[in-house]
Structure 1
Amino acid sequence: MKSMTGYAALDRDGRRWEIRSVNARGLDLRLRLPDVAGLEPPVRAAVAGVAVRGNITLALRLSDSGAGAARLDPAGLDRALAALAEVEARADLPLAPVTAADILSLRGVWEAGETAPPALAVLTADLADLVAAFAADRAREGAALHALLAARVDEIESLTDAAAGLAPARAAHQAEALHAALGRLTGAAMDDARIASEIAALAIKSDITEEVERLRTHVAAARALLGEDAPVGRRLDFLTQEFNREANTLCSKSGMPELTTIGLDLKAAIDRLREQVQNVE
């Protein structure tokens, strides 16, 4: 299992790489790259190879600290000297002495040294290491997330068992409800068939056997998904909706304060599970 959140950085010879990701419904890759021909396709392919979901930002900054030293520009020097000679000729009188340092301080005499961008092969080698570190970070986050999710599923199973354990108490409670209903019905002008039908409907309405069994089935499905070595976030998210549907029905059928309390605790546990599932790839 991998988390959708992750971070990695790489510093090499004036090259600063960073990649980070947060939750997203799909894969949203945002690149901030220098103008290096052919770099974007391998970057996209490398990230897609380790991530299927997440809002991912990858940036590469090239430092100018390695720029070449400034060099004297012969053509610029010639232009500066010609300009000084023209000024002196037009002034028609000798100007103050001009030193070499004065001339070298003039604009255009020097040209900045330029450093070629790193070769594509160098950058793709960096990229492989960066993406590997990023994938490892997401895997570490995923391992911690797996433990949290497993604990939430255990909590849901425990509450489901507690709900099922109320069966004897609920049977007595239902018997009392049925006797009360029977007393009301026999006092009215109703035939025996109608009375039997009403009692059966009341018994079916208050039975939670199916909800308990479906909750247990969902617990087994959640554990199976947690055991898969593949992206399972979307399927887990769907499963939390199914959990919540059964918990809602359980509460609506409760009829007992004790079962209502369990149902509410169950809904809270499912909500905590859903919050963590949003981080799963």
Structure 2
Amino acid sequence: MNKFLSFAALAASLTLSVSASAQEQATTASSNGSYRPIPNSDIMFRKTIWRAVDLREKQNKPMFSEGKEISRVILEAVKRGELQAYRNDSLTSTFTGPEVSSRMSYVEASAGLSEEEKAAGFSEESTDDDWGAPKTKGKKGKTASKPKAPAAPPSYEYRYKDLYQMELKEDMIFDKKRSRMYHDIKTVTLLVPSTLSSNVSGIETPIGTFKYSDLVRVFRANPDKAIWFNSQNDAQHKNLADAFELWLFNSYIVKVSNPNDSRLDEVYGGPQQGILAAQQAASDLIEYEYNLWSF
């Protein structure tokens, strides 16, 4: 009887320890944005990869259909308070809603006065007096005008169609229990493209980074908006969450985890070299997976 009780107590303690370990792994995985976390004990190989996605490409157009752009779905969810934006893919600090709105906006450059307006006597510091109102008299009968502070130029939000650049962070994991390679997406970052004429900085500017697990929740909750458009069959449109799960998009590698945290174009000395390095990195990963099955 004592042996039976001892065995039952041991089994109960092992069950509690295993469940506690599983809970700890799930919590840790969910904090980094993974939607389907793989236990560390099942991981034989892992490599962190950053991929660029240009939504203007033909293969990516279903994610960017008119009125159903993925950028629209994400940013409108942020505005409604359904989605949290982060400052970077480390997911350690967050953006508020107004901060995201400011980062997806641009200030219109002032066009200034035309030559005809300058010849007519107008100036950048002109006041209402220039339109015929009586000017105030200063000391000794001189006419004095009180200059007005220049008005701040108006700001506008980018169109959702302008926000066609995204970056994914994923872990490429070989699961030894299931004997297959997984693309475990962690985060998705929306960027203001460097090629927009209204982006005077000329560099890609991040609007916000989002946990992939949060995005899946938003996509599932908005099936009428989060659509991957099937141009071959209107009865077979898919949810954006399914499109990511099935990898129905094209991307190219821009960074592979390295000690200096450098992007490929920085490592190899230029954009063209970076593109060649991205193709080589993709080939190397495919070859590694293939060699796992060689005996």
TM-score range, shorter chain: under 0.3
Of structures 1 and 2, the larger Rg is shown by: 1
Choose between structure 1 and 2: higher strand proportion.
Answer: 2
Choose between structure 1 and 2: higher helix proportion.
Answer: 1
